[in-house]
Structure 1
Amino acid sequence: MFESLKKKFSRTSDKLEEELIEEAQEENNLEEESGKKFSFFSFGKKDKKEEDDSESDVAEIPQEVESIQETDTSDNETSDDKDEKSGFWSFGKKSGDNKKESQGEESAEEIQEEEEPKKSHFWSRNNDEDTEESEEADEKTEEKKSRFWSRNKDNDSSEETDEDEEPSGMFSFITAKTISEKHLEDILWELEMGLLEGDVAMEVASAVVDSVKDDLVGRKIKRSNDITEYTYNALRNAVAEIIDIPGKSMTEMIEAKKAQGEPLVVMFVGINGTGKTTTIGKLANYYLKKGYTPVIAAADTFRAGAIEQVNYHADKVGVKLIKHQKGSDPAAVAFDAVEHAKAQGKELVLIDTAGRMQTNTNLMDEMKKIKRVAKPDLVVFVGDALTGNDATQQASKFNEAIDLDGVILTKADADSKGGASLSIGYVIKKPILFLGMGQGYDDIKEYDADWMLNQLFSESGEEVNPDEA
């Protein structure tokens, strides 16, 4: 789910990292580190070990190197300090067995040949031959730095790494960098355009961008991993505020009404073709399995075949259907269903209404009449997540006409953009109650903001190329 949004979030982090590192290179304020380069989504993983790594952001130093530093500090303190800053470790000082342990399957002789130029860079600067080798080592260093910019395009790195690591590109700043507005101006404009392209509502895109800006400006950065972590947290916090609209769940409301000896009456509205009737069948099945007894009102007496359709779903899940003849008064059907539930001690009334465009004045007036007669506890808009910003605009119009209490989004499992899921509740200031997650009767899920947040900021399962995001 939401792969498009994930890529845009990851791209924002990559762009900010590139901006700061490029500026640091021009200032001679950059050095390469030996350590893990964490991916954007690695900070959202729940594994404790990985969380500890992401919080500390400390480059792992081989034990062999630590022992070298401990034994040689008295004689070569200055040289070792330079050695550590450059990110080159003098494994030539250790035995072949230790080299083999630190380098995997490489032999001690191969490591010796690879590291010899780096040793000469530190110990034999006045030797002409060693000076040439030193220049070669410097070129290799520059090569490694330049590979940061094309690490997703080149195939130079073939080593196997953990899912949340990249084989190279870990940098630190000699003097800590502070994120300023000028660093973010172009990056946040690109993020805002990307969100709008992903069918996120204008006011939501602006709110996300403003929140990220407030969170990041003034942050002091020491390592490249800090950039990724701070950007991840800023985006996650911004989205968390957007999608968490307070409101009671339908289940809580059923229990509250049950304590009063009354059924919970829910009226469903929306345009044609969003899956309103199928959603009613899913909800009837959902609450049957929770031990409640629903009844369905076939109040869509306008559309040909509507009564037969809802009757099919009622038979499939095994609930009572209250229906009249086609063309009869839909408000009367809704009223009879409520009276039936009260008489039979049923806890839930689900009222199906005719799909209508928000611009159809006559049908909108009919919907208001059903509400006056049935007096529903909840008026729920059913929208298609795949229609993106259209679903948000439709919900706004229905909310103006009839005052909605909540939203159900269908086809959320197939939504790669995520625009409606991110926007609709925030725009109309009403909670999302359920998400349709498939074709079966069991494929419906009570909305949970934490679950949604994890979906938006979890690993996508594929490598994200910033140039394609």
Structure 2
Amino acid sequence: MFDSLKKKFNGTIGKLTEKVSQEAEEEAKAEENSVQNETEINSLKGTDVKSAPETSDKSSSDLDNAVENVPEEIDSMEEESVDSGTKKSFFSRLKRKSSEDKPLDVSKESVASEEEKTEDIETPRGEKDESVSGKKEKEADESEKESKSGIFSFIREKTISEKDLDDLLWELEMSLLESDVALEVAEKIIISVKEDLVGKKIKRSSDVADYTRNALKNAVSGILEVESKSIDTLLQEKKTKGEPLIIMFVGINGTGKTTTIAKISTYFINKGYTPVIAASDTFRAGAIEQISHHAETIGVKIIKHKKGADPAAVAYDAVSHASAQGKEIVLVDTAGRMQTNINLMDEMAKIKRVVSPDLIVFVGDSLTGNDAVEQAMKFNDSVGLDGIILTKADADAKGGAALSIGYVINKPILFLGVGQGYEDLMEFKPEWMVEQIF
């Protein structure tokens, strides 16, 4: 039952879940790549090019050259002293030259000492460079950690946008129309779902399915919830007044109207009431015979006249019989006719004026889909309806009529026919249909 609606609604739930989850994953990856790029840039900015080793190497090289040149200078001076024949003057000159020029101490110990001083001078800068670099690397790590935390938060809080829904809801609307759902009902469902979902923050992919399912349930429940009269309450009110409850049935030929009256009779008998049937379809002899057969089978009194008699007179006699015999319910059968037949519609209006029924119930074939909705609208315009009974609901795979008819004419569905037996009639509950669909 209602398999088409089940399939379409569940398909929408699955598609939206997949789409939103995929978008969340793609956006998360893009965000993660952005964070990685930013981290790499910060790492590069925090790297210092250290020049101290080059300076130290250069200084050390100059000192080495100076050491290597000292023996040559000494040899030169010794040769000069030999030529002059005075070794003493060589040392005197060297001493004088040393005091005047004050050359660098070029001994190996002094070179080593200079290197240590150079290292001592460069060390503070190196330590500072390492400290700054370490601080920047730490800041970069913290930034990356915060960014990754933001990614996970983003995944947990993906927001459903109108763009996420437009295409899927368009497909859903077309699918509903294919399932014989009335246009205004399909539009109402789409608007309701969009209002419920746009702006929702999704933490997990499963949330998408839950939110979507709930939004669709709310939309369908809103369509099905129509203010109605309680038959039990009406029965009690009429019983208090000492009057029978009068129910008039209308609809076209072939919808199962006569069989439905027999089912309703059985329903009330099981509740302890005593109904009476008025065979007011006097236009067809076959109709009188058919309703008489059902009445005899279930043990219900039937009031009937000859073919061609006044339908309103038959209904009046049935009401009089019920009042006289203390029977609580009168079920008035009427001729099946097309809703476009103005003369026959006027005849039903006459029955309404004569017996003043408490309920006028439209009996429609759920398999006809939007045709049943159109028929109900015409009957409602002509005689005014108080409720609906849909037959053959057990064979209705689409469910469009059941979903649409009550909303379109703003009247409740009272019963569903779910089989050929007299017991195969169930009270309609909106929550039951919602559970059937979802």
Fold equivalence (TM over 0.5) = yes
1:219-258 matched pairs, under 5 angstroms: 219-258=200-239
Farther off after superposition, 250-259 or 187-196: 250-259
By how many angstroms is 1:176 displaced? 1.9
1:279-311: CA deviations, max 9, x gaps?
000011110111100000000000230000000
In 2, the alpha carbon distance for the partners of 1:380 and 1:27 equals 56
- Residue identity (%): 67
1:20-68: CA deviations, max 9, x gaps?
12323332349xxxxxxxxxxxxxxxxxxxxxxxxxxxxxxxxxxxxxx
- Are 1:181 and 2:162 matched, yes or no? yes
- The aligned counterpart of 1:93 is none
- The aligned counterpart of 1:321 is 302
1:302-317 matched pairs, under 5 angstroms: 302-317=283-298
In 1, the alpha carbon distance for the partners of 2:153 and 2:10 equals 20
AA aligned to 1:322 is I
1:64-143 matched pairs, under 5 angstroms: none
- The aligned counterpart of 1:407 is 388
By how many angstroms is 1:17 displaced? 1.6
Contact (CA 8 Å) 1:263, 1:348: kept in 2 or not?
yes
Contact (CA 8 Å) 2:156, 2:204: kept in 1 or not?
no
Unaligned runs of 5+ in 1: 31-80, 86-170, 458-469
Contact (CA 8 Å) 1:173, 1:223: kept in 2 or not?
no
- The aligned counterpart of 2:22 is 22
- Are 1:337 and 2:318 matched, yes or no? yes
- Are 1:454 and 2:435 matched, yes or no? yes
Higher Cα Rg, which structure:
2
Given the alignment, which residue of 174, 177, 188 partners 1:207?
188
In 1, the alpha carbon distance for the partners of 2:243 and 2:22 equals 66
By how many angstroms is 1:226 displaced? 0.3
Unaligned runs of 5+ in 2: 31-144
1:285-434 matched pairs, under 5 angstroms: 285-434=266-415
In 2, the alpha carbon distance for the partners of 1:274 and 1:445 equals 17
Q: State the TM-score, normalized to the length of structure 1.
A: 0.66
- The aligned counterpart of 1:60 is none
Secondary structure (helix, strand or coil) at the match of 1:28 reads helix
Contact (CA 8 Å) 2:28, 2:154: kept in 1 or not?
no
Secondary structure (helix, strand or coil) at the match of 1:27 reads helix
Relative to its length, the structure with more helix (as a share) is 2
Farther off after superposition, 407-416 or 173-182: 173-182
Contact (CA 8 Å) 2:322, 2:330: kept in 1 or not?
yes
1:353-393: CA deviations, max 9, x gaps?
00000101111111111111111111110001111111011
Q: Write out the 4+ residue segments of structure 1 that deviate beyond 6 Å after TM superposition.
A: none
Secondary structure (helix, strand or coil) at the match of 1:267 reads strand
AA aligned to 2:25 is Q
By how many angstroms is 1:254 displaced? 1.4
- The aligned counterpart of 1:198 is 179
Check 1:221–1:385 CA distance in 2 against 1; reply closer, same or farther (3 A cut).
Answer: same
In 1, the alpha carbon distance for the partners of 2:195 and 2:165 equals 11
Secondary structure (helix, strand or coil) at the match of 1:440 reads coil
By how many angstroms is 1:172 displaced? 10
Contact (CA 8 Å) 1:172, 1:224: kept in 2 or not?
no
Contact (CA 8 Å) 1:29, 1:175: kept in 2 or not?
no
In 1, the alpha carbon distance for the partners of 2:372 and 2:232 equals 25
In 2, the alpha carbon distance for the partners of 1:2 and 1:212 equals 20
Secondary structure (helix, strand or coil) at the match of 2:203 reads strand
- The aligned counterpart of 1:168 is none
In 2, the alpha carbon distance for the partners of 1:29 and 1:233 equals 29
1:41-80 matched pairs, under 5 angstroms: none
Contact (CA 8 Å) 1:172, 1:223: kept in 2 or not?
no
- The aligned counterpart of 2:253 is 272
AA aligned to 2:243 is E
Contact (CA 8 Å) 1:247, 1:431: kept in 2 or not?
yes
By how many angstroms is 1:13 displaced? 1.1
